[in-house]
């Protein structure tokens, strides 16, 4: 399993609307091949900064499969207008402690 971490900076004053749009986009992620979950986290120190976390079976499920879907287009149509800067995306895998 891999965790996509999308670092998102949202335009000032549009945070509540952005959060509603993410809720609307959840089914587009969950319908995608290999998607196992999604959560949204808002930064305390900089409240216009969010971290969208999506669990994928493989990195390719996100970068290749999902990006080729209509659902990805829907997600970007919903959330994209609220981005203050281009998203920065990375993938992580959990280290067993």
32 binds a copy of itself (CB under 8 A): no
66 binds a copy of itself (CB under 8 A): no
Measured CA distances, 32 to 1, 64, 93, 94 (Å): 15, 11, 19, 22
The residues near 44 (Cβ < 8 Å, ≥ 6 apart) are: none
- Least Cβ distance, residue 61 to a copy of itself (angstroms): 13
3-class secondary-structure state, position 57: coil
- Least Cβ distance, residue 69 to a copy of itself (angstroms): 19
- Least Cβ distance, residue 87 to a copy of itself (angstroms): 14
Which of 6, 9, 11, 26 binds a copy of itself (CB under 8 A)? It is 26
Would you say the C-alpha torsion 96, 67, 7, 21 has a positive or negative sign? negative
Q: Which stretch binds a copy of itself (CB under 8 A): 40-48, 70-78, 79-87?
A: 40-48
Q: Is 34 left (phi over 0), alpha (psi -120 to 50) or beta?
A: left
- Least Cβ distance, residue 48 to a copy of itself (angstroms): 13
Count of residues in contact with a copy of itself, rule CB under 8 A = 27
């Amino acid at each position: 399993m891999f965790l996509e971490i999308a670092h998102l900076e949202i335009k000032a004053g549009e945070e509540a609307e952005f959060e509603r749009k993410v809720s609307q986009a959840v089914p587009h992620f969950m319908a995608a091949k290999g998607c196992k979950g999604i959560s949204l986290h808002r930064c305390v120190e900089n409240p216009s900064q969010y971290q969208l976390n999506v669990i994928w079976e493989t990195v390719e499920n996100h970068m290749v499969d999902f990006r080729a879907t209509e659902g990805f287009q829907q997600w970007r149509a919903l959330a994209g207008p609220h981005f203050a800067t281009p998203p920065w995306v990375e993938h992580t895998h959990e280290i067993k402690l």
